[in-house]
Amino acid sequence: MALPFITQGFRMARRFSVVLRSVLALALAAVAVPLVNLTGGELAGLLRLPRGGDARLAYDLLWVFLAGVAGSALMVGVAAVAKATHAWTLFALYLALDLYVTVMAWDDFPRWFTLACLLTLPVQVWLGWWLAWGRRRA
């Protein structure tokens, strides 16, 4: 009689573990994106890159792209199940944030920069998913 209760307890622990890993994956992605961007900014300072101009914006765009890839790879890599669903969830969160920033910064940056941030978003999430999970399946 005690066996069903034990197996039910194992199933509950497994579900809790899956949910915990999903929350941890989201938290790691949320920390990785600004951390990678800050790393790029600090590296630019160490390389003594000029602070303005299109070349610096292109450099910053590269780090925005790498930050998106890192966040996506971490989220998909840490998630226990439904890795594609996690990637789509992160894409939706990135898209909402990116649309907000694009609207708010439309007059602050050149159009090519804000549009490139927005239009490279699907590639960022796909590449992170592929690096963390997709190439293992292929």
Per-residue pLDDT at 13 exceeds 80: no
Domain membership flag for residue 121: yes
Domain membership flag for residue 36: yes
What average pLDDT does this structure show over 94-121? 92
Domain membership flag for residue 25: no
Domain membership flag for residue 113: yes
Domain membership flag for residue 60: yes
Residue among 129, 132, 106 nearest 117 (CA): 106
Give the number of domains in the chain: 1
User: Which structural domain, as residue segments, surrounds residue 57?
Assistant: 32-132
Instruction: Give residue 62's pLDDT band: very low, low, confident or very high (50, 70, 90).
Output: very high
Per-residue pLDDT at 132 exceeds 70: yes
> What average pLDDT does the structure give for the chain?
88
Name the pTM for this structure: 0.85
pLDDT score at 52: 86
Domain membership flag for residue 45: yes
Of all residues in the chain, the percent with pLDDT exceeding 90 is 72
Domain membership flag for residue 23: no
